[in-house]
């Protein structure tokens, strides 16, 4: 009996040593943070559970829905000590990236979305995110799988945006230009408007929109979206071939239009040069006559009509010497 009691005590001591004392110490790596729960309850900074996070990216309705307490966060370092009834929840706060197609419930190669033209297209890319240190309660205890939740939210916003996306440049072209607007729309510009083409041309704008719409995720799910990197929008093969034909036609129209504009500009330049040459020739012919008129006027002012007639007679001498025949009018007689 005594031996059994001693063995029981030694076994209990060994169990306490390995299961309690050795597991009571823990360390936190530099890229991780931790939250301690005592009997399943997180260590809060305030007892007011309804105190909301003052997140300016949340609407007033969302602030009422997503009210999470502020919990005490254990920073990097250690070793720390915890009681046996406490549990350490470690979370990595390093920036990570995940493919858009990531979904733990199914395997997929692309994200399908429907455009405003009712075309089904595939979207691929990545998002870069990190866990919000200021809202660890939402990440750890708000939802069961926060990353899966944030991916579902992101894909939903992306599909809604693709379904309603319009090229802002095309909208400006379709608007009536003002009198001071020199950039009048052309037929080539107005040929734009195919939704997939618009999306492909405006991928940076689409990424910026997604980042703007996901700024509320730290307050909702405790995950900060660092960047959205949508890299490709691939329609089905038959639609892609049709788009290629449209693009080829558009490029041909653009080339023909450029050639026509170049020819027109060349014709205008040649016409301006012809006008300049004719104007110079006319001025060259008029200049001696003007000089002769000034000379005759000056001679008449200084010597009178007799001096003018003598000057004209002197001018006729070299002409008469080269003339073959002379016709004398009646007035000169």
- For residue 21, give the CATH number of its domain: 3.30.479.30
Determine the Cα–Cα distance for residues 158 and 136; give it in Å rounded to an integer.
Answer: 26
pLDDT on residue 186:
45
- Kindly compute the dihedral angle of the four CA atoms of residues 304, 309, 311, 313, in this order, to the nearest 10 degrees: -170
Is the confidence at residue 183, as pLDDT, over 60? no
- Give the span between the Cα atoms of 77 and 245, in whole angstroms: 62
- Structural domain includes residue 41: yes
Q: Quick check: 37 and 87 in contact, CB under 8 A? A: yes
Per residue in 43-77, pLDDT (tens digit) is: 887 655 445 556 777 777 777 788 888 888 888 98
Q: Which of 20-24, 129-133, 151-155, 313-317 has the lowest mean pLDDT?
A: 20-24
Which one-letter DSSP state was computed for residue 45? S
Q: What is the mean pLDDT of residues 154-166?
A: 87
pLDDT tens for 5-45 read: 888 888 888 877 777 777 788 899 998 999 999 888 888 87
pLDDT in tens, 114-128: 888 788 888 888 889
The per-residue DSSP string of 94-133 comes to S-EEEETT--TT---SSEEEE-TTS-EEEEEEEEEEEE-G
**Tokens 């991916």 found at:** 151
What pLDDT sits at residue 148? 86
In a domain, 32, yes or no: yes
- SS3 state at 177: coil
Query: CA–CA separation, 108 vs 127, rounded Å?
Result: 16
Q: Is 248 within a domain?
A: no
Do the domain assignments include residue 139? yes
Which one has a higher pLDDT value, 235 or 1?
Answer: 235
| DSSP 8-class letter at 31 | T
State both tokens at 57: 């990216």
Q: Rounded to the nearest 5°, which phi and psi values hold at 95?
A: -75, 130
pLDDT surpassing 80 at residue 180: no
Q: Per the domain annotation, does 246 fall within a domain?
A: no
Q: Cα 159 to chain center, whole Å?
A: 18
Give the number of other CB atoms < 10 A from CB of residue 167. Answer: 19
Q: Identify the band that residue 272 occupies on the pLDDT scale cut at 50, 70 and 90.
A: very high
Cα three-residue angle 312-315-320, rounded to 5 degrees: 115
pLDDT at 1 over 70: no
Which residue do the tokens 């558009």 mark?
Answer: 250
- What pLDDT is recorded for position 256? 92
Residue 192 has a pLDDT of 53
- How many domains does the chain contain in total? 1
pLDDT at 333: 47
Q: Is residue 186 part of a domain?
A: no
Mean pLDDT in the chain? 81
In a domain, 310, yes or no: no
| Burial class of 270 by CB neighbour count within 10 A (0 to 12, 13 to 18, 19+) | exposed
Task: For residues 246 and 117, give the distance between their C-alpha atoms in angstroms, rounded to a whole number.
Answer: 15
Within a domain: residue 254?
Answer: no
What is the DSSP-derived secondary structure letter of residue 42? E
User: What's the rounded mean pLDDT across residues 180-202?
Assistant: 60
User: Rounded to 5 degrees, what are φ and ψ at 129?
Assistant: -145, 170
Instruction: Find residue 125's DSSP bridge partners.
Output: 230
Domain housing 49: 1-171+193-235
Tell me the whole-structure pTM to 2 decimals.
0.61
Given a cut of 90, whether residue 270 has pLDDT beyond it is: yes
DSSP letter for each residue of 206-259:
HHHHHHHHGGGHHHHHSEEEEEEEEEEEE--HHHHHHHHHHHHHHHHHHHHHHH
pLDDT digits (tens, 9 = 90+) for 168-179: 765 554 444 454
Asked if 199 and 162 count as a contact pair (C-beta separation under 8 A), the reply is: yes
How would you classify residue 192: left for phi > 0, otherwise alpha for psi between -120 and 50, otherwise beta?
beta
């Amino acid at each position: 009996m005594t031996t059994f009691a001693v063995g029981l005590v030694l076994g209990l001591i060994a169990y306490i040593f390995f299961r309690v004392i050795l597991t009571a110490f823990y360390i936190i790596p530099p890229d991780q943070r931790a939250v301690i729960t005592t009997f399943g309850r997180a260590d809060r900074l305030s007892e007011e559970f309804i105190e909301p996070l003052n997140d300016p990216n949340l609407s007033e309705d969302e602030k009422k829905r997503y009210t999470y307490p502020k919990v005490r966060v254990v920073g990097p370092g250690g070793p720390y000590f915890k009681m046996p009834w406490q549990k350490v929840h470690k979370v990595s706060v390093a920036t990570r990236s995940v493919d858009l197609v990531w979904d733990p419930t199914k395997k997929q190669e692309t994200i399908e979305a429907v455009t405003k033209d009712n075309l089904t297209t595939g979207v691929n890319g990545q998002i870069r995110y990190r866990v919000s240190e200021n809202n660890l309660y939402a990440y750890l205890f708000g939802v069961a799988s926060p990353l899966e939740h944030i991916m579902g939210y992101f894909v939903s916003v992306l599909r809604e945006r693709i379904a309603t996306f319009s090229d802002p440049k095309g909208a400006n072209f379709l608007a009536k230009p003002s009198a001071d607007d020199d950039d009048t729309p052309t037929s080539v510009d107005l040929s734009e408007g195919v939704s997939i083409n618009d999306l492909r041309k405006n991928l940076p704008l689409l990424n910026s929109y997604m980042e703007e719409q996901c700024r509320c995720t730290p307050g909702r799910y405790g995950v900060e979206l660092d960047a959205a990197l949508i890299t490709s929008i691939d329609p089905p093969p038959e639609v892609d071939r049709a788009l290629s034909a449209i693009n080829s036609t558009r490029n041909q129209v653009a080339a023909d239009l450029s050639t026509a504009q170049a020819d027109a500009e060349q014709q205008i330049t040649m016409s301006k040069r012809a006008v300049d040459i004719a104007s110079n020739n006319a001025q060259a012919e008029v200049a001696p006559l003007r000089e002769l008129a000034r000379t005759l006027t000056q001679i008449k002012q200084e010597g009178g009509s007799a001096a003018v007639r003598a000057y004209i007679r002197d001018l006729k001498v070299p002409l008469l010497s080269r003339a073959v025949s002379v016709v004398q009018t009646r007035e000169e007689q």
